[in-house]
Amino acid sequence: MTKISGQTPTLTHIDESGEARMVDVGDKQSTQRTAIAEAVVRLSPTAYALLSAANNAKGDALNTARIAGILAAKRCAELIPLCHSLPLSFAGIDFFPDDAAHTIRVQATCRSDYKTGVEMEAMTACSVAALTLYDMCKAADKGIVLEQVRLLYKSGGKSGEWRANAN
């Protein structure tokens, strides 16, 4: 949705006749854009202990997930039909373990100097990194839950800076 001051929000990927369309960014200015997204991976105590000890049968799960997330950010336009292919200047994945909750918070950061935002790249990156953790740990726990995929922060472009409300 787009909201221009004083106007009702609209869905920019839907044209006047209700058909899906790619947004034309040809006349937009290139600006430095950043997006940060997160996903939470909730594991059983056993799977969490194996992952934390780097004792997973499939190898180093966190580094594998990091590479998968970065690759996903780079290929976002191939996965999400109406996303623009854009040049990323940076894509990074960080992991924040919570020993008490048996969770890993996956955080993706993407940057580009382009005409459209990198929110989808960041959200795709953290989603694929979380899915990779599931794949790497499923032998120990098929009940792993991926939750709370969300945008945390974005900057750049006409809409400027935005931050998610704290949960």
The answer to whether residue 113 is catalytic is no
4: nearest Cα among 119, 158, 125 = 158
Q: What is the Cα–Cα distance from 66 to 156, expressed in whole angstroms?
A: 25
Find the Cα–Cα–Cα–Cα dihedral 40, 43, 45, 50, rounded to 10°.
Answer: -100
* Cα→Cα distances 100→46, 104, 130, Å: 13, 11, 19
Q: In this structure, what token pair is assigned to residue 36?
A: 């940060």
Where are any strands of DSSP class E within the chain?
A: 31-42, 90-98, 103-114, 145-155, 162-163
> Of these residues, 60, 98, 113, 135, which one is catalytic?
135
Residues carrying an active site annotation: 135
